[in-house]
Chains A and B, each alone.
Chain A
């Protein structure tokens, strides 16, 4: 090779090198996407089973704007079939599709897809992040009571590193005190237990028996409060709902408050200030933290709601996700004043809105 060719090669390398510094104007920076969804709330829409029309809506209460189908708009493809829940960690959101058996990992502010987890999940339900891992509850084969598990997904590789075998019907999952609590509602059957998972060993360290169909998990001071739905009317024996209060140090049930009638099936336990709120059918009730009997008078009814499919409380307001009574077509989000139950606002959502998340 001739000497002058070497010089030319060396010079061209220098030119390329010069462009690599940030404050050089030679190479245009790629445009950063707007953080379109940074301030507002997400509504997760289940869609119809088997129709592949699950979606996410974004609502900005201040501007009054609502945008449906944001995943498909940003990423140009379908979200999947029957979305169940979303969990968040740093700037990531994990959207779980129960029927497609996928988790879409997206940026929570732009909703751009980061990764898709589509291996090793079977009837995934809810998730939570702890110790750099995403823990996902799975029913496995719905008719098999022995194959339910919690998948441990490494957040660097987005692949499952371990499946923790658990009892039937793991649903809601919560992390506190470096421990993971899983409520076992029972899947297609009925169950009444919590699993406690040690995040160092990723094993079930304890099972706690609570009431029938534990659904909501709430940390209240140094206790874990579990709202149990009670067995429904079509069970062989219908049972009343209850609240189990578990001491977070001893992991024993410290107190159980039972509802009066076997037809009482409370849902949606949420904390606001010095009270918790729950719903019975479409009425909102409250309970002070030191109260030991349930009030028979509701705070207010949710009259506009057709089917109460999701509920959140934030900032003195109650957000109710209402699916249509025949489960087809777009649902609604109704926002109520938590003190007096007056309707503050309403938005149209996607099909069968099931959960509300604040960003």
Chain B
């Protein structure tokens, strides 16, 4: 009786109404397995890059490293393991939304996510979707969105994956993924932790990184339970804890420390009724931090924000090729902390999405409006289309309006918060070309983004820093993703490469914005020869300006990593790995005087049973 749940859903519907196409069974499976169905079903016109768990395991456990070496995303890092912010398509740190199982988790205080507070090992895959996404994901989805996903399986299998690693600078890592399921229940338990003294030498100098020691870990669980053949309940929970010294620089000694504690819980109840799919999601997000200017003293500043999100999603399949989706959501958040006076915000939103499949042409059109009393939110929209011109060539077009709301710090900060701020809005368009040949996949996209009312903190006439809607920026460029699979004899070889050309021009000064590189290249080859796996990373970041008059800049740099592992046994799996990171011992920095690590080594042991 157990196994029939899935079969009933997938094939029962198929048999009962012969006009349904094969794609519906895939759609239904996606509704069951995925946490973020909209990403899979509502991305016409945009490209999605998927980083599988096997790829993530070849990288360091923090999200910055995985994206830095495999995607066109550029990172500004304050040192290894330190505060790290992302830039996609030349936009700023708060114009990239990080989405956890469909829920936007950017900080209420800063509007951004620190990419070194996300452990990749606790997710089944991570996806990058450049371009707008506010219609579904809300504030901050201007440059792109990064999706952290947990998936469910109901295949009655048990699998355990355990990895232990130890490397330079007393760095230890532990990763555990457990999957247990039968036909009605699916349970995933994940743990990823890292600790490091982080006292690396700055290449080319006599100095070492000081006060940069850190540890962090994430515990994630995901459970799905079929209540009856047409109702499934899903629960996701993620806890993150990390303490780190904020490292000094070439000329700055630091004794400060930062502590993060984040808890995220999500419950989803999904119902399948004939042509309707209904989903109710309730999420509770709690973020908190403490900053100690002197880690040996008991004086600290802090922030705590609690957010409750209610999302109701109703999808109506008008026919096999048309569907209408209604989304209603209510978000209530409140925050408190040093420097913040009473921060509360309640937002109601409504979205309408239309999907149509016309054979070679698929398109979607979506609208969203948010309501809140503090300011007027713009009407957001997104229109995207995929046109399969030839079997090997798909043309993609997308245009959207997205936004970013002012954060708690922008509005309520005691020293200078400005309650009269408007949200930033963007109008963007992109053309994508996707080629699929026998051995090669290639995607080339060109985009243009016009951002109005960019929020920046600048000093006013009396010298007090205040945030204001001060700038108009045009971003445009090119993104290329390539994947080549070939067999060298009987040995599979895979090459992955990305390239980003980015221009981000302040319309008043006509100069490139600071911290936006014009060029970024990543190249990842991997090969398997009998029981040996070899892979490498190559990264090139072009030079960046550090002053808005473009007089000061940081040089571009190349970094290369090499890794190899030997598989002793396949089932149960036992694998011994070795990695050399930054083989060229390149001295590089993405922020002036914050030097990143030189050459380092790591050994790992993996068990799979």
A interface list, Cβ under 8 A from B: 48, 50-53, 78, 80-81, 97, 99-101, 141-144, 232-234, 265, 281-282, 307-309, 324-330, 351
B368 to chain A, nearest CB (A): 32
B396-420 CB contacts (< 8 Å) to partner A: 414-416
Closest to B251 in A: A52
A328 touches B252 (CB 8 A): no
B250 touches A328 (CB 8 A): no
| Given pairs A234-B416, A309-B463, 8 additional interface contacts (CB within 8 A) | A52-B592, A53-B552, A53-B593, A100-B252, A141-B294, A234-B414, A326-B458, A329-B550
Asked whether A329 and B549 contact (CB < 8 A) given A78-B250, A100-B251, the answer is yes
Query: For the complex, what is the distance from the CA of A233 to the CA of B253, rounded to whole Å?
Result: 32
The A contact surface, by secondary structure, is loop
Query: For the complex, what is the distance from the CA of A144 to the CA of B295, rounded to whole Å?
Result: 12
Q: Which residues of B contact A52 (CB under 8 A)?
A: 249-252, 592-593
Asked whether A351 and B464 contact (CB < 8 A) given A234-B415, A325-B459, the answer is no
Which 3 A-B residue pairs are closest in the complex by CB-CB distance?
A329-B547, A52-B251, A52-B593
Closest to A233 in B: B464
B70 to chain A, nearest CB (A): 29
Choose one: B253, B548, B550, B593; the contact of A326 (CB below 8 Å): B548
Closest to A142 in B: B293
B484 to chain A, nearest CB (A): 41
Q: Which residues of A contact B251 (CB under 8 A)?
A: 52, 78, 80-81, 97, 99-100
Choose one: A80, A144, A282, A351; the contact of B299 (CB below 8 Å): A144
B253 touches A308 (CB 8 A): no
Q: Which residues of B contact A351 (CB under 8 A)?
A: 547, 552
B463 touches A324 (CB 8 A): no
Choose one: B252, B301, B461, B464; the contact of A50 (CB below 8 Å): B252
A101 touches B462 (CB 8 A): no
A216 to chain B, nearest CB (A): 15
Closest to A82 in B: B252
> Is there a chain A Cβ closer than 8 Å to B297's Cβ?
yes
A328 touches B294 (CB 8 A): no
B interface list, Cβ under 8 A from A: 249-253, 293-294, 297, 299-301, 414-416, 456, 458-459, 461-464, 514, 546-552, 591-594
B308 to chain A, nearest CB (A): 30
Choose one: A50, A232, A282; the contact of B593 (CB below 8 Å): A50
Closest to B417 in A: A234
Closest to B78 in A: A50
A237 to chain B, nearest CB (A): 13
Query: For the complex, what is the distance from the CA of A309 to the CA of B459, rounded to whole Å?
Result: 11
Choose one: B250, B416, B463, B548; the contact of A329 (CB below 8 Å): B548
Q: Which residues of A contact B294 (CB under 8 A)?
A: 141, 143-144
A265 to chain B, nearest CB (A): 6
Q: Which residues of B contact A48 (CB under 8 A)?
A: 546, 592
A232 touches B462 (CB 8 A): yes
Query: For the complex, what is the distance from the CA of A234 to the CA of B418, rounded to whole Å?
Result: 11
State the total of A-B contacts with C-beta under 8 angstroms.
92
Asked whether A143 and B250 contact (CB < 8 A) given A330-B549, A351-B552, the answer is no
Q: Which residues of B contact A80 (CB under 8 A)?
A: 251
Closest to B301 in A: A143
Q: Offer 16 A-B interface pairs, CB within 8 angstroms, sorted by A.
A: A50-B593, A51-B249, A52-B250, A52-B593, A80-B251, A100-B252, A143-B297, A143-B301, A144-B294, A232-B462, A234-B416, A308-B463, A328-B514, A328-B547, A329-B551, A329-B552
Q: Which residues of A contact B250 (CB under 8 A)?
A: 52, 78
Asked whether A281 and B458 contact (CB < 8 A) given A51-B591, A52-B249, A330-B551, the answer is no
Query: For the complex, what is the distance from the CA of A329 to the CA of B249, rounded to whole Å?
Result: 20
Query: For the complex, what is the distance from the CA of A281 to the CA of B592, rounded to whole Å?
Result: 32
Asked whether A265 and B462 contact (CB < 8 A) given A101-B253, A329-B548, A351-B552, the answer is yes
A51 touches B548 (CB 8 A): no
A99 touches B252 (CB 8 A): yes
Q: Which residues of A contact B456 (CB under 8 A)?
A: 326
Q: Which residues of B contact A97 (CB under 8 A)?
A: 251
Q: Which residues of B contact A100 (CB under 8 A)?
A: 251-253
Closest to A144 in B: B299
Closest to A145 in B: B299
Choose one: B252, B301, B459; the contact of A327 (CB below 8 Å): B459
Closest to B293 in A: A143
Q: Which residues of A contact B253 (CB under 8 A)?
A: 100-101
Query: For the complex, what is the distance from the CA of A351 to the CA of B593, rounded to whole Å?
Result: 15
Query: For the complex, what is the distance from the CA of A265 to the CA of B550, rounded to whole Å?
Result: 34
Query: For the complex, what is the distance from the CA of A52 to the CA of B463, rounded to whole Å?
Result: 22
Closest to B415 in A: A234
A143 touches B593 (CB 8 A): no
The interface centre, meaning the residue of A51, A265, A309, A330 with most chain B CB atoms within 10 A of its CB, is A51
A324 touches B416 (CB 8 A): no
Q: Which residues of A contact B300 (CB under 8 A)?
A: 143
A225 to chain B, nearest CB (A): 22
Query: For the complex, what is the distance from the CA of A329 to the CA of B416, rounded to whole Å?
Result: 23
B413 to chain A, nearest CB (A): 9
B457 to chain A, nearest CB (A): 9
Q: Which residues of B contact A327 (CB under 8 A)?
A: 458-459
Q: Which residues of B contact A144 (CB under 8 A)?
A: 294, 297, 299
A50 touches B459 (CB 8 A): no
Query: For the complex, what is the distance from the CA of A127 to the CA of B300, rounded to whole Å?
Result: 29
Query: For the complex, what is the distance from the CA of A100 to the CA of B250, rounded to whole Å?
Result: 9
B230 to chain A, nearest CB (A): 57
B461 touches A324 (CB 8 A): no
Choose one: B416, B459, B591, B594; the contact of A307 (CB below 8 Å): B459
B592 to chain A, nearest CB (A): 4
A307 touches B592 (CB 8 A): no
Query: For the complex, what is the distance from the CA of A307 to the CA of B593, rounded to whole Å?
Result: 25
Closest to B592 in A: A51
Closest to A232 in B: B464
Closest to A309 in B: B463
Query: For the complex, what is the distance from the CA of A354 to the CA of B205, rounded to whole Å?
Result: 30
A298 to chain B, nearest CB (A): 13
B588 to chain A, nearest CB (A): 15
B99 to chain A, nearest CB (A): 30
Query: For the complex, what is the distance from the CA of A232 to the CA of B464, rounded to whole Å?
Result: 9
Query: For the complex, what is the distance from the CA of A62 to the CA of B428, rounded to whole Å?
Result: 53
Query: For the complex, what is the distance from the CA of A115 to the CA of B177, rounded to whole Å?
Result: 57
Q: Which residues of A contact B458 (CB under 8 A)?
A: 325-327
B92 to chain A, nearest CB (A): 13
Closest to A51 in B: B592
A324 to chain B, nearest CB (A): 7
Q: Which residues of A contact B252 (CB under 8 A)?
A: 50, 52, 81, 99-100
Query: For the complex, what is the distance from the CA of A308 to the CA of B461, rounded to whole Å?
Result: 8
Q: Which residues of A contact B592 (CB under 8 A)?
A: 48, 51-53
Query: For the complex, what is the distance from the CA of A338 to the CA of B513, rounded to whole Å?
Result: 38
Query: For the complex, what is the distance from the CA of A81 to the CA of B593, rounded to whole Å?
Result: 10
Q: Which residues of B contact A101 (CB under 8 A)?
A: 253
Query: For the complex, what is the distance from the CA of A100 to the CA of B252, rounded to whole Å?
Result: 5
Q: Which residues of B contact A330 (CB under 8 A)?
A: 547, 549, 551
Q: Which residues of B contact A265 (CB under 8 A)?
A: 462
A141 touches B293 (CB 8 A): yes
Query: For the complex, what is the distance from the CA of A51 to the CA of B297, rounded to whole Å?
Result: 26
B461 touches A282 (CB 8 A): yes
Q: Which residues of A contact B594 (CB under 8 A)?
A: 50
Query: For the complex, what is the distance from the CA of A97 to the CA of B253, rounded to whole Å?
Result: 12
A105 to chain B, nearest CB (A): 17
Q: Which residues of A contact B462 (CB under 8 A)?
A: 232-233, 265, 281
B369 to chain A, nearest CB (A): 33
Closest to A282 in B: B461
Closest to A229 in B: B462
Query: For the complex, what is the distance from the CA of A308 to the CA of B251, rounded to whole Å?
Result: 26
A307 touches B299 (CB 8 A): no
B593 touches A328 (CB 8 A): no
Q: Which residues of B contact A281 (CB under 8 A)?
A: 461-462
Query: For the complex, what is the distance from the CA of A141 to the CA of B548, rounded to whole Å?
Result: 32
Asked whether A141 and B297 contact (CB < 8 A) given A48-B592, A325-B459, the answer is yes
